[in-house]
Amino acid sequence: MKNLFYYETIVGTIGIAEENGFLTDLFFGEENAPENSVQKESPLLKEAVRQLKEYFTGSRKNFDLPLAPQGTDFQKRDWKALQEIPYGATVSYLDIAQKIGCPKGARAVGLANNRNPISIIIPCHRVIGKNGKLVGYGGGVDKKIKLLELEGAAFKK
């Protein structure tokens, strides 16, 4: 059973879930709650939101939280590569595909990013089109813009 709690942030309401001492989900809004969850704030969820608040004020560049995203092996490789993108930097879908050993897999990377269960902390918002344009974001392009602007990242609107 996952513990889930909602918080208000500069990008709107987010839900964060954890199970067995690992974060499993961070999503926008309240309609995407994971199955088998109960609304209960835990010490780990409090720590996660504390670190997120620091991130939103610009005083935190990296997160230090135990993560357990659930997905395929390909998705997990993608999400691991996303965590290596530095704060304030952007890379293309093709860059990630090449990094994870799938040089023709830019579309597959896009699909894996769309399935990222721990948004912001696993920073799929830092992935943009190879021409520098924003291509999409599961939470909405407006949230992607806000996160990239917060980090001072270069991109084309």
Catalytic site positions = 124
Instruction: Give the DSSP letter string of 26-77.
Output: EEESSTTPPSSEEE---HHHHHHHHHHHHHHTTS-SS----B-----HHHHH
Q: Which run of H or E residues covers position 78?
A: helix 73-82
Query: What whole-number distance in Å separates Cα of residue 134 and Cα of residue 124?
Result: 12
78 within 8 A of 115, measured Cβ to Cβ: no
127 within 8 A of 81, measured Cβ to Cβ: no
DSSP code of residue 137: -
